[in-house]
Amino acid sequence: MNSIELTVVYEDDDGILMLAIRASSPSHSVYHETYLYPEDLVTFSEELKVFPRNQHTDVTLESGSKDPGHHDYIRVRAFLHEPNGSSLLEIDSIVHGDATVRSNSHFTMAGYPADFNRLGTEIATWIKKPDQPMRVEWDTF
């Protein structure tokens, strides 16, 4: 079973969200806190709802920087893996800092376009009122 969970930790005065992202596959998992504007999540969700537009489509949500001078970096990217429609959701998570907080995780979660379309629909609904965590699960093919 694969899953993505989004939780708003808090919202800053300028509208930016501190967002907790929990992603897990049957063999890997990560918990990552980052900062995103709600509009970034809306754009990501809208693109996921129509994924894939063509065989070269990828849909990406990205925040932070891989540069060690930044606190963190995360990329969540959906892309076609095979022409038959099997797809992957790639998670690339880096937290910089001293050894007590530093982490690095990079893995993929298998699914079909319909799984990622549903993820987009759920994010789009949730971001309108993100007062509770949102969790979406799907089976690995």
Per-residue pLDDT tens over the stretch 26-49? 999 999 999 999 999 999 999 999
pLDDT at residue 141 greater than cutoff 80: no
Domain ranges of the chain: 37-129
User: Above pLDDT 70, what percent of the chain?
Assistant: 100
pLDDT at residue 109 greater than cutoff 80: yes
pLDDT at residue 52 greater than cutoff 90: yes
pLDDT at residue 85 greater than cutoff 90: no
Q: In DSSP terms, which residues pair with 3 in a beta bridge?
A: 24, 137
Mean pLDDT value across the chain: 95
Return the pLDDT at 140: 85
Return the pLDDT at 120: 98
**Confidence bin at 75 (pLDDT 50/70/90):** very high
Dist CA 65 CA 4 (whole Å): 21
Phi/psi class of residue 97: alpha, beta or left (left: φ > 0; alpha: ψ in -120 to 50)?
left
Return the pLDDT at 95: 96
Dist CA 135 CA 29 (whole Å): 14
**Confidence bin at 54 (pLDDT 50/70/90):** confident
Residue pair 52/37 in contact (Cβ under 8 Å)? The answer is no
